[in-house]
Chains A and B, each alone.
Chain A
Amino acid sequence: MKDNKYFLDDKPDKISYSEVWQKFFNWARAKSLWVVAYGTGCGSIEIPPMVTSRFDAERFGVSTVGTPRQADVLIISGYLAVKTLKRVIRVYEQMQSPKYVVGLGACTVNGGMYYDSYNTVNLVELYIPIDVYVAGCMPRPEAILAGFAQLMKKIKEGRADGWKHYLDNFEQYRKNQEKIIKNWKIPNYNW
């Protein structure tokens, strides 16, 4: 075991494929997005209508899984406190690449209505890379689906490379995170 401070085991090396294969895999990735069911803020209340009968995200291949290990997409649904950010980073680093992050609501963009709160992170972009923002307070499920369509488009074109950016600039991201997170230990009451 390495130092407990880092939850990411190591950097996966980059394998290069020919362009046709890359396009094929990107198509498969875009068509099958598994969302980790982890609600971080008030926007998580918009996720259940999105995946159930009314809006039915499964017809686009978007389905939910219960564990970050198998997930492709992390939805940051609303404001992040420092405490939540710690868990979000942990979940994000447990996910296996390629992985994508969707920021939901005005709070993830720039703090939203909590711009002067002592405990709400203003710019989530500083701590984890976000591929698609869905603005609104809160966005309706239609808007989230539109955001997913945007994400699929980005993946198909190979532009959704937030996870690559995170690995390449890992030290910088870690420095930003450590600026506000002093203690990585998660207390016992999480169980």
Chain B
Amino acid sequence: MEDLIKRIESIFKVLKKERGKRDNLWIIEVEKDSLHAVLSYLKDNESFKHLALVSCVDWIENNKFQLSYILWSYQKRQNLIVKIFIDRDKPEFKTVLNLFPQAEIYEREIRELYGVSFEGNPTQNEDFVLEDWEEMPPMRRDFDTLKYSQEKYGDRDSEVQKTNIRKIISDFTDEWRRK
């Protein structure tokens, strides 16, 4: 797997590399302009033919969105995660539909849940799971789900509302871990 990373490094600029939790899982970070070239190289020359997932992470502290492209090679039985960072204020990127057709549905999902638009994806504005959503995309971290839920679906009047149930659960698990 290190050889592979070295080969990538010899061609492209790799900003950061790290080993995942398994031997056959590596994570590399590349510049966002070179992503298509990297994916194309990996697909054509290194047998990473399968795009398993496109996911998005909201780094609100750094004002960035992270897009991760998780690739799998059937021959080598290796996972490679290629990640890029895009600006949070201007959430736009180009689609990878020409390389991996299955990216269509993932990009639609990210468009709906994070508001990142993918230029060149024809179906990205269709509904994925939410129908008629009008608010800010719900998976962004500055979206207050509790407040939204209370306003839209009505307040449930019970003790659970008043107590912070998440804190109770995390306290409990902390205590359990300390033992």
Q: A115-B149, A116-B145, A117-B149 are in contact. Are A123 and B132 (CB under 8 A)?
A: no
Asked if B131 and A116 sit within 8 Å, CB to CB, the answer is no
Chain B interface residue count, CB cutoff 8 Å, equals 21
Complex CA distance for A120 and B153, rounded to whole angstroms: 8
Contacts of A115 in B (CB 8 A): 149, 156, 160-161
Say yes or no: A123 contacts B149, CB within 8 Å.
no
Say how far B161's CB is from chain A's closest CB, in angstroms.
Answer: 7
Classify the secondary structure of B's interface with A. Answer: loop
Chain A residue with the shortest CB-CB distance to B146: A116
Q: A188 CB to closest chain B CB, in angstroms?
A: 10
Near A by CB (< 8 A), chain B positions 102-147 give 127, 129-132, 134-135, 138, 143, 145-146
A183 and B131 form a contact (CB under 8 A):
yes
Q: With an 8 A cutoff between CB atoms, is A26 at the interface?
A: no
B10 within 8 A of A: no
Contact of A119 with B158 in the complex, beta carbons under 8 Å: no
Complex Cα–Cα for A119 and B143 (A): 13
Interface membership of chain A positions 170-191, coded 1 if the CB is closer than 8 angstroms to chain B and 0 otherwise: 0000000001111100010000
Could you tell me the distance in whole angstroms from the C-beta of B57 to the nearest C-beta in chain A? Answer: 18
| A115 to B160 CA separation, bound complex (whole angstroms) | 9
Residues A74-90 near B (CB distance < 8 A): 81-83, 86
Whether, in the assembled complex, A63 has its beta carbon less than 8 Å from a beta carbon of chain B, the answer is no
Q: Tell me if B148 is interfacial: C-beta within 8 Å of chain A.
A: yes
A119 touches B132 (CB 8 A): no
Cβ of A182: which chain B residues have Cβ within 8 Å of it? Answer: 132, 134
Q: Which residues of B contact A (CB under 8 A)?
A: 127, 129-132, 134-135, 138, 143, 145-146, 148-149, 152-156, 158, 160-161
Q: 10 additional contacts, CB 8 Å, given A86-B131, A110-B156, A111-B149?
A: A81-B129, A82-B130, A111-B153, A115-B160, A115-B161, A118-B138, A118-B149, A123-B156, A180-B153, A183-B132
